[in-house]
Structure 1
Amino acid sequence: MYDELKSLIKNSKTCLFLTGAGMSADSGIPTFRDRDGYWKNFPVFKDKGLLPQELASPASFRKQPQHSWAFYEWRRRNARKNIPHSGYHVINLMAAEIFEDSFVHTTNTDGYHIISGMSADRVTEIHGSMWRLQCINGSSCRYGVRNNTDVPLLEMDENTMSALTMPCCPLCGDILRPNILMFGDWEYIENDIQLNHFDDFLSRHKRIDLVFLIGSSSQIPTNDYIAKRMQQYGSKIITVNPDPSSAMVCTPDLFIKERSLPAFQAIAKILNLL
C-alpha cells in the first residue's frame, strides 16, 4: 500500500487536503457527534438530555445562551489547552516541499491548520472558526465578523455548564456568538476571503492531481462530496480514516484505515520529511 501511496504523491503536482473531525481527534479535540464521547465530557448535559445539535444553534443561543456559550467556551479552552499534532506539520511540509500548489479545505472550527503554520491564504474553514465572533443578529448588525482569541472569553460554572458572563455586541448590545455554521443557521456570516482563496486555487488548475480526504464523517459529508466531484474530473483520492463507512460517498483510489496522526507519521517517513 505504501509503495502505491508514495507513487501517487510523487506523481502529483497539485493537492487538495480535505480535513474533518478525525484530523483534530488526535490532538484531543472531541468529536461531538459521538454521543457517548460528548456526554463523557459533559455529564451535566446528559442529565438535561441536551445534545450538541440542540446547543449549537442560533435558537439555543436565544433560548438558553448560558448553556450554549458554556459549550463553546469549553471548546475554546480545550482547543487552547491542546496543540496541533505532528500530522498537521507533515501536511505543511508536503505543501511546502512536495507539491507545486496545494490547499486545505476543512470542516473543523478549531483553527488548527492556521495555528500549525499553514499560510492563511491556503486554508478555507468552511464551517467557520471558534476564534471569530459575530453578532447573533447576523448581517443585520454592522458588527460583522471579528477575530477573538481570548481564553477565557467568559466566566463559567463547569459544574452546571452555565456561562456566568457573556460577550455582547458593542454596537447593538445583543449577544455575540461564534462565527460557526450551526444547525438551522440562517444568520451565519461566511468568510468571503477564504472562499475566494479556494475558488482561486481551483481556477488555477484544470484538474487537481491528488486529494486527501482525512477524518471525514458520513454524518456531515461536506468534504466527501467535494472529493467525489474532484474524482469525476480525474483526481486521485486517498482516504485517511479508521472507519470503513467513511468510503460510502466517495470510493477512494487508496484507503488508509488509520487515524490521522499515525497515517501522516508513516507518510513523513516514506517521503523523508521528518
Structure 2
Amino acid sequence: MRKHLSENPLPRCPRCGSLARPNILMFGDWAWVDAPYEKQRVRFEDWITSTSRPVVVELGAGKALPTVRRFSERNARHRLIRINPRETDANPLYGIGFAGSAGLTLKLLGAHVERSHR
C-alpha cells in the first residue's frame, strides 16, 4: 500500500488540532457539519438566479451517481457542455456532449474558440 506523501503538512482543525476533513457529505457520514454548506448554497442560489446566461461545463460526471448531472441540467439553461469519456449523452434541451478526457477536450475547445475569435 502506498503512503501519501505531501510537500506541505496536511491541514489541521484550528479548534482541536486533529486532521481536517473536507466538508462534503458522504454516505452514512454523521459528522458532517451542514452550516457552512447552507451558507454557500444560499450564496450560490443568489448568484445563479442573478446570472442571465450561465454556461455549465460538466467534467466526467457519470450516470452511476447522477447528482452532478441533475445539477448541471437544472442550472445550465440550455448551455451545458458535458465532457465524459463514456457517457456523453447530453439531452439537446440542455446542451451538447463531447466524448473524451476532460483535459484534452478542454484544450481542443479552447483552441477552437481562439481560432474563431481571430
Q: How would you bin the TM-score normalised by the shorter chain?
A: 0.5 to 0.7
Question: In 2, Cα distance between the equivalents of 1:176 and 1:272?
Answer: 44
Give the equivalent residue in structure 1 for 2:9: 150
Give 5+ residue unaligned stretches, structure 2.
none
Q: 1:184 aligns with which of 21, 28, 31?
A: 28
Instruction: Verify: 1:194 aligned to 2:40, yes or no.
Output: yes
One-letter code of the match for 1:187? A
Contact (CA 8 Å) 1:240, 1:256: kept in 2 or not?
Answer: yes
Alpha-carbon spacing, 1:219–1:170, altered in 2? closer, same or farther (3 Å)? same
Instruction: Verify: 1:260 aligned to 2:105, yes or no.
Output: no
Give the equivalent residue in structure 2 for 1:242: 85
Question: In 2, Cα distance between the equivalents of 1:251 and 1:204?
Answer: 25
Q: Secondary structure at the match of 1:178?
A: coil
4+ residue segments displaced more than 3 Å: none
Q: 1:269 aligns with which of 111, 115, 118?
A: 111
How many residues are matched?
110
Contact (CA 8 Å) 2:62, 2:84: kept in 1 or not?
Answer: no
Q: Which has the higher helix share?
A: 1
What TM-score do the two structures reach when normalised by structure 1? 0.33
Identity of aligned residues (%): 18
What TM-score do the two structures reach when normalised by structure 2? 0.66
| Root-mean-square deviation over aligned CA pairs | 3.5
CA displacement, residues 59-99 of structure 1 (integer Å, 9 cap, x when unaligned): xxxxxxxxxxx7xxx3xx4xx57xxxxxxxxxxxxxxxxxx
Q: Secondary structure at the match of 2:29?
A: coil
CA displacement, residues 202-257 of structure 1 (integer Å, 9 cap, x when unaligned): 1213x5443222111322222111122236xx42222111112x53xx52531110
Contact (CA 8 Å) 1:202, 1:208: kept in 2 or not?
Answer: no
Give 5+ residue unaligned stretches, structure 1.
1-41, 44-69, 82-148, 155-166
Question: In 1, Cα distance between the equivalents of 2:99 and 2:43?
Answer: 31
One-letter code of the match for 1:223? V
CA displacement, residues 72-131 of structure 1 (integer Å, 9 cap, x when unaligned): xx3xx4xx57xxxxxxxxxxxxxxxxxxxxxxxxxxxxxxxxxxxxxxxxxxxxxxxxxx
Give the equivalent residue in structure 2 for 1:130: none
Q: 1:203 aligns with which of 42, 45, 49?
A: 49
Alpha-carbon spacing, 1:228–1:268, altered in 2? closer, same or farther (3 Å)? closer
Q: Which has the higher strand share?
A: 1
Contact (CA 8 Å) 1:208, 1:235: kept in 2 or not?
Answer: no
| Superposition deviation, residue 200 in structure 1 | 2.2
| Superposition deviation, residue 265 in structure 1 | 0.7
Q: Secondary structure at the match of 1:200?
A: helix
Instruction: Verify: 1:217 aligned to 2:72, yes or no.
Output: no
Higher RCO (C-alpha under 8 Å, 6+ residues apart): 1
What does 1:37-52 align with in structure 2 at a 5 Å threshold?
42=1
What does 1:22-37 align with in structure 2 at a 5 Å threshold?
none
What does 1:105-144 align with in structure 2 at a 5 Å threshold?
none
Give the equivalent residue in structure 2 for 1:251: 91
Question: In 2, Cα distance between the equivalents of 1:187 and 1:256?
Answer: 38
